[in-house]
């Protein structure tokens, strides 16, 4: 299946529910060679995770819509856009226009979550919500019909290279159970501190989208690192 974003037509990896997806985070890449860094990974990756930070919700500042648009033109992978911003409402249309396939907003700053999620879907993107490690999953219980993806942060957002917070493993299991009980086809993404050592456990706990920054781009060969991670998560999924 293919999907048309505002900038291009590309394979809709997100819709292939039987596949666990590897999404490298460009935050850890050589940003002066962004498109080359992604393209070197070839088909070892499924989507590209783009961490948008506003210097307010998190103490860091990253990519505006022009960067996402430029990247979108140079890759055939879908762009998974994680909005770590205080005012996502004003930005949704710009990032959709730039070529985002998913738009993920943070529960901690949403006053009217359904409204925002419905806007994302109306823009032709998959709608995701992200929870910081300390945010209870019960806060999204009534949003499940409006969601295509739940992103569980396994570090406090803002930077690459932090360590996975161990108690999030239990949260992944509980969230997977909540999704399965709901019957809605919601993907479960885990972001932060993923390594070759814990990736399989994260998939066994119930994740089907894995974000990895330093575990890919911080390695001597990002392509080999992505291939190893991909193998580990697919093997774990196949054995479930
Ligand atoms: C953290 C970001 C993550 C980060 C992951 O705020 O949301 O996507 O880039 O980096 P690693 O995998 O190095 O923890
Ligand atoms: Zn992220």
Q: Which residue has the higher pLDDT, 89 or 30?
A: 30
C-alpha distance from residue 160 to each of 55, 136, 154, 176, 234 (Å): 15, 23, 11, 25, 24
Q: Which atom of ligand 1 is the closest one to the Cα of 27?
A: 9
The matching CATH number, chosen from 3.20.20.70, 2.90.10.10, 3.50.50.60, 3.40.50.150, for 13-238 is: 3.20.20.70
pLDDT digits (tens, 9 = 90+) for 113-170: 999 999 999 999 999 999 999 999 999 999 999 999 999 999 999 999 999 999 999 9
Domain borders along the chain are 13-238
How far apart CA 5 and CA 97 sit, in angstroms, is: 8
**CA-atom Rg of the chain in angstroms:** 16
How far apart CA 2 and CA 156 sit, in angstroms, is: 34
How far apart CA 162 and CA 224 sit, in angstroms, is: 21
pLDDT category, 5, cuts 50, 70, 90? low
Ligand 1: lining residues by beta carbon, under 6 Å:
25, 27-28, 49, 51, 82, 155, 157-162, 191-194, 211-215
Q: Which residue has the higher pLDDT, 193 or 4?
A: 193
- pLDDT value at position 3? 62
- pTM for the predicted model, two decimal places: 0.96
What is residue 189's three-state secondary structure? Answer: strand
pLDDT category, 10, cuts 50, 70, 90? confident
Give the pairing of strands 209-212 and 21-24.
Answer: parallel
The answer to whether residue 6 scores a pLDDT higher than 60 is no
pLDDT digits (tens, 9 = 90+) for 73-120: 999 999 999 999 999 988 999 999 999 999 999 999 999 999 999 999
> Is 191 an active-site residue?
yes
């Amino acid at each position: 299946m293919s999907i048309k974003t505002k900038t291009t037509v590309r394979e809709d990896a997100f819709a292939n529910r039987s596949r666990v997806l590897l999404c490298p985070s460009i935050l850890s890449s050589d940003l002066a060679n962004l498109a080359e860094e992604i393209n070197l990974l070839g088909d070892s990756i499924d989507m590209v995770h783009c961490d948008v930070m506003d210097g307010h919700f998190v103490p860091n500042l990253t990519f505006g819509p022009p960067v996402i648009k430029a990247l979108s033109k140079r890759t055939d992978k879908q762009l998974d856009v994680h909005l770590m911003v205080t005012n996502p409402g004003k930005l949704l249309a710009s990032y959709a226009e730039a070529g985002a396939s998913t738009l993920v907003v943070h529960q901690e700053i949403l006053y009217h979550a359904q409204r925002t999620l419905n806007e994302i879907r109306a823009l032709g993107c998959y709608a995701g919500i992200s929870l910081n490690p300390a945010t209870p999953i019960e806060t999204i219980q009534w949003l499940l019909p409006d969601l295509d993806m739940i992103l569980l942060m396994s570090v406090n957002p803002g930077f690459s290279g932090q360590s996975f917070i161990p108690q999030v493993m239990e949260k992944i299991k509980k969230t997977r159970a909540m999704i399965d009980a709901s019957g809605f086809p919601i993907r479960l993404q885990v972001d932060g501190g993923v390594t070759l050592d814990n990736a399989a456990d994260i998939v066994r706990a119930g994740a089907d989208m894995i974000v990895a920054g330093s575990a890919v781009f911080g390695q001597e060969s990002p392509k080999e690192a992505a291939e190893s991670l991909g193998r580990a998560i697919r093997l774990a999924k196949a054995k479930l």
